[in-house]
């Protein structure tokens, strides 16, 4: 029964999203949509929690026949890697729904229904037991996300960025499909329980491309309705499945010859994006840089074949980031929740990201020096954005002051639960740690405090460095280049179409055919 708990959670989320849609159609003035959405998430959350004792079990969704044609069928895998990510997603949607009481003016039933559907798709992705299931989940996630963004974003420039981001993610999906083909060309498919070593590099690159580390990242969502709740869901849920893939691939690793090159790229990306996060105007503007910096730490751990460290940084990206992104209303009494979020990725002993310190074990590389610096800027930015003044909860009923903090507090509580009960975030090796293992984390905390103090005085060098580094990591120039090429190609194709469709189109077609035949004869290809 416990092995089906995760599937029950997925069905519950889809069911309640369907109820919200049906009620909107039958009774447009229905006033209790939030209660229905909250009930759905409250029922789904314990289903994922109790699925933990069933870790290591595989659940086949459907068996495709014949087996000679289909090497694999869609299946779910609940283990020490997928369960923490499942807990992240179901806790995130619970926190989003509960904290919506503080954003009543921008709340909408469609955002709640969309969040439930996105979470259900995300759960299928993080629980995917083989690449085929993950491919199907990625395709569904990307298509649904594209539909939501094009529905909310009305500016032509914003829609262009959405299409570019969709194309980048499709590139990652293609690499995963290529890895599946490579494995099947050897006469067998593969599951995430046993990943062949010859596809490790493809899987890492697929996850890195979808996360935005090598080299693109998603454009910022500037529309107000997408910035806190649904915008956070659209950012974090697709990232969770890619981080899960990194954690699994870290068990296999990649060829040693590729590690140094990729580690150099990841280290530089981590440093620049973390600095951009620390100097961003607010946490929502800096959200892409937070994701890129934390994802770089997870990717660096995967490159060094440290699955526990990769998992710890990936889970911290989602949990600690969502605490800050969902804290729209600020109050001194809520500061302790943000402090718990900070501890979640501090790397201090017995905190959730403690397992991330394994990243520094093994052979030394000069590019590892970028990682504590990146960690320091991530910490400094988190402190800065946590102390920034925000909205105020004024004129609300008292029950809002109960539900809203509870929605935020459930995130760090679940983070510590995933670390100490999840199994893979903190292992037995760390329980017998030496103080030398704390040097990178303590150095990051010290540098974070120094940078935060310097930034409060706003020295000129911080402003200049921010203006130089942030455009380089935003890849706005790359987006423009891609669209110049796209539009230029479109104009050329349009011109050729007009010429061929005109009165002299037949003559032009004969001329092109004659030139093509002459070219083939001259090159000797005509005899073929």
Please name the residue that has the structure tokens 């997925």.
10
pLDDT of the residue at 219: 47
**Residue among 122, 91, 97 nearest 112 (CA):** 97
Contacts of 302 (CB under 8 A, 6+ apart): 204, 207, 246, 247, 249, 250, 310
pLDDT in tens, 370-397: 888 888 889 888 988 888 877 776 666 7
Identify the sign of the CA torsion 382, 386, 389, 390.
positive
Rg (CA), the chain: 25
pLDDT of residue 220: 46
3-state secondary structure of 160: helix
- The distance of Cα 69 from the centroid of its chain, to the nearest Å, equals 33
Q: Which of 83, 46, 48, 125 is nearest to 425 (CA)?
A: 83
What SS3 state is found at 63? coil
Tell me the β-bridge partners of 191.
Answer: 194
**Residues of the chain predicted below pLDDT 70:** 1-3, 53-55, 64-71, 104-106, 155-158, 160, 186-189, 214-227, 393-396, 422-441, 444-445, 448-449, 451-491, 493-512, 518-528
Contact 149, 176 (CB under 8 A): no
Paired tokens of 314: 């990936």
The confidence score (pLDDT) of residue 306 equals: 87
CA dist 250 and 308 (Å) reads 9
| CB 100 within 8 Å of CB 112 | yes
Q: Return the structure tokens found at 456.
A: 């409060």
Q: What is the pTM of this model?
A: 0.83
Per-residue model confidence (pLDDT) at position 3:
65
Q: What are phi and psi of 262, to 5 degrees?
A: -65, -35
Question: DSSP character for 194?
Answer: B
Closest CA to 94 of 407, 321, 412: 407
Q: What share of the chain is helix, strand, coil (3-state, %, to 5)?
A: 75, 0, 25
């Amino acid at each position: 029964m416990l092995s089906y708990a995760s599937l029950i959670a997925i069905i519950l989320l889809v069911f309640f999203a369907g109820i919200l849609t049906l009620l909107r159609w039958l009774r447009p003035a229905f006033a209790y949509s939030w209660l229905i959405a909250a009930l759905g998430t409250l029922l789904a959350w314990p289903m994922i929690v109790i699925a933990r004792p069933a870790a290591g079990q595989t659940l086949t969704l459907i068996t495709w026949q014949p087996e000679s044609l289909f090497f694999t069928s869609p299946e779910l895998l609940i283990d020490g890697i997928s369960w923490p990510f499942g807990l992240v997603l179901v806790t995130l949607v619970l926190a989003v729904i509960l904290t919506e009481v503080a954003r009543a003016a921008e709340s909408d039933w469609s955002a709640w229904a969309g969040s439930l559907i996105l979470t259900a798709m995300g759960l299928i992705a993080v629980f995917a037991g083989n690449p085929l299931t993950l491919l199907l989940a990625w395709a569904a996630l990307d298509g649904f996300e594209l539909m939501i963004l094009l529905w909310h974003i009305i500016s032509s420039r914003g829609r262009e960025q959405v299409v570019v981001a969709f194309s980048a993610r499709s590139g990652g999906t293609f690499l995963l499909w290529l890895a599946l083909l490579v494995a099947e060309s050897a006469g067998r498919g593969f599951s995430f329980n046993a990943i062949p070593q010859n596809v490790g590099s493809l899987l890492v690159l697929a996850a890195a491309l979808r996360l935005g580390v090598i080299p693109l990242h998603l454009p910022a969502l500037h529309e107000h309705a997408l910035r806190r709740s649904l915008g956070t869901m659209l950012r974090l849920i697709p990232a969770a499945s890619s981080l899960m893939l990194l954690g699994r691939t870290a068990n296999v690793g990649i060829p040693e010859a590729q590690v140094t090159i990729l580690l150099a790229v990841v280290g530089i990306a981590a440093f620049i994006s973390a600095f951009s996060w620390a100097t961003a105007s607010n946490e929502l503007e800096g959200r892409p840089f937070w994701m890129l910096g934390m994802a770089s730490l997870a990717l660096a751990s995967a490159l060094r074949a440290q699955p526990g460290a990769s998992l710890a940084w990936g889970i911290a990206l989602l949990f600690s980031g969502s605490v800050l992104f969902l804290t729209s209303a600020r109050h001194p009494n809520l500061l302790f929740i943000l402090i718990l979020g900070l501890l979640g990725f501090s790397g201090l002993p017995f905190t959730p990201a403690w397992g991330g310190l394994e990243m520094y074990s093994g052979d030394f590389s000069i590019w590892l020096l970028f990682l504590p610096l990146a960690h320091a800027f991530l910490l400094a930015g988190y402190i800065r954005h946590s102390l920034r003044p925000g909205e105020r909860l004024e004129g609300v009923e008292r029950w809002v002051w109960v539900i809203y903090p509870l929605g935020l507090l459930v995130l760090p509580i679940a983070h510590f639960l995933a670390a100490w009960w999840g199994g893979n975030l903190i292992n037995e090796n760390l329980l017998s740690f030496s103080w030398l293992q704390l040097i990178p984390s303590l150095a990051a905390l010290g540098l974070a405090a120094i940078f935060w103090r310097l930034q409060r005085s706003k020295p000129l060098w911080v402003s200049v460095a921010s203006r130089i580094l942030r455009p380089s990591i935003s890849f706005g120039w790359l987006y423009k280049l891609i669209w110049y090429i796209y539009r230029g190609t479109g104009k050329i194709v349009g011109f050729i179409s007009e010429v061929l469709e005109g009165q002299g189109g037949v003559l032009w077609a004969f001329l092109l055919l004659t030139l093509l035949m002459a070219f083939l004869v001259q090159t000797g290809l005509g005899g073929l």
